[in-house]
Amino acid sequence: YRLSPFHPLARFKGPIIVKVSKLWGLWIAGRGSQYLYHKKLHDQYGPWVRTGPNELSVIDAPAVSQILNFGGLDKGRFYEAHTAKRRVWNRAVTGAALREYEPLVAKRATQLMSRLVEIYLLNITRLDVMGDLAFGGAFEALREGKDVAGIGEKISAFMTSGVALSGQIPWISPTLHLFPQVGRGVQALNEFSQRLAVQRVEKGGSGVKDLWYHVSDEAGLEKVRPTLESSATDGIVAVVGASDTTVSTMTSLVWFLLSNQEYYRRVRLEIDTVFVDGDDPRDVSKHEQLQFLSACINETLRLHPPLPSNGPRGVDPKSGGRVIAGRFIPAGTTVYTPPYALHRNPAYFFPHTDHFVPERWLPGSNFEKHDTSAFIPFSLGPANCVGQKFARGEILVVVSLLLKSFDLKFVDGFDSEGWALRRRDYFVATRTPLLVNLTPRESFIL
């Protein structure tokens, strides 16, 4: 039936193996290769591809916008386990709220620079920043020089098992606890976040209106105050969703710059010009002058989107189906809009589609194709990333401080070309260590 012309998705092209069963897709996802597989299928079959018996992947920009934007498809069963409390989240990321967080980020960025003299710790800085914001300074990984709480490990167990699996087989989410291996990863992270939440409440406010202040509604703006349990879930969503995505971007950015020395020199020159003697990269008022660095961040997010496949959407199984960009999508269909494949579609970014060319983002640049409606690293619409402004701000502080303070160079003999090929797609892309030597510069900042 799934291969027959009677199946509601029969008109959509795709390999036979994926039409028959979800097992092949599950195997690909288990290896972290979904983003590459989707890209390959789109290269072969075009912007609409059938990727499962009841699943599509779409990289046609107008259709992507209709799917993700207001009035589009639901987030579907994939998110059943999460409480999407968008209203409290929105309060947590207003301009005023972000200004409250700035000293926290600046403090950790400074600590990073001092510890970098000894060891490269970008990976754990993100833990401390999010520990500060969400749980009142819970982790202290930089101070200890390592991830003492083992949170990195808990996050990867959670990502590689529960999240990847429920993305492939949405109906499995409510039954995850039945799979001991998978359930353990999910449960360990849940218990950990509950403990942190209790600690944060016992410790009382940090004096800063941090993220916890908003997600637990300390100001009492909601009619019904969120329970400790649901604020703990939000706290951990912040640590997982906000820290790994940001560090993925920073690590890829360093990799792109060191692999393209002329761009590395140009970014450094810009930072040295904007922050002259005594000026401090933690001064966010100067960040809008960092045009070339911002272009490099965009180009990094284009080629290495931290969520390479994005969260799927679904057509309500109880509906009569939906028409998207002139095509009928039957009820119950899962729809992917994978940023990795979309961003590398030459119909939207051309020439040098697969190459790091940050100039395409500079004002006045004249590339044959530069369609920003196809640029969705933070997704689109009502469920897009609430933290994108904060993420950009954090990246600008840390990267400009890093380049102002150190000369960076790949460790001799490091397989830098192979590094990008080892990125894996477990909802947030995972990476192997990027080995970089750091030599303090004269302008080293503490």
Least separation, in Å, of the C-beta of 307 and ligand HEM?
A: 4
Residues 6+ apart with CB under 8 A from 210: 100, 101, 104, 132, 133, 134, 136
Cis, peptide link before residue 351, omega less than 30° from 0? yes
Rounded to whole angstroms, how far apart are CA atoms 372 and 292?
Answer: 17
Least separation, in Å, of the C-beta of 246 and ligand HEM?
A: 5
Taking the least distance from each CB to ligand HEM, the nearer of 253 and 274 is 253
HSE-CB of 278 using CA atoms within 13 angstroms:
0
Q: Rounded to a whole number, what is the largest CA-CA distance in the chain?
A: 71
Least separation, in Å, of the C-beta of 386 and ligand HEM?
A: 5
Taking the least distance from each CB to ligand HEM, the nearer of 243 and 345 is 243
Least separation, in Å, of the C-beta of 118 and ligand HEM?
A: 27
Least separation, in Å, of the C-beta of 155 and ligand HEM?
A: 14
The answer to whether 261 and 410 have CB atoms below 8 angstroms apart is no
- Which positions lie near ligand HEM, rule CB under 6 A? 84, 86, 89, 237-238, 241-242, 245-246, 249, 306-307, 310-311, 377-379, 383-387, 390-391
Taking the least distance from each CB to ligand HEM, the nearer of 160 and 251 is 251
Q: Is 385 annotated as a binding residue?
A: yes
CA 376 to chain CA mean position, Å = 11
CA dihedral sign, ordered 214, 219, 225, 229: positive
425 bridge partner residues? 429
Taking the least distance from each CB to ligand HEM, the nearer of 402 and 445 is 402
Rounded to whole angstroms, how far apart are CA atoms 253 and 90?
Answer: 28
Rounded to whole angstroms, how far apart are CA atoms 274 and 94?
Answer: 26
Taking the least distance from each CB to ligand HEM, the nearer of 237 and 445 is 237
Neighbours of 145 (CB within 10 A): 12
Rounded to whole angstroms, how far apart are CA atoms 426 and 307?
Answer: 8
Taking the least distance from each CB to ligand HEM, the nearer of 389 and 441 is 389
Least separation, in Å, of the C-beta of 301 and ligand HEM?
A: 6
Q: Which residues make up each annotated binding site? A: 385
Q: Which residues make up each annotated binding site for heme? A: 385
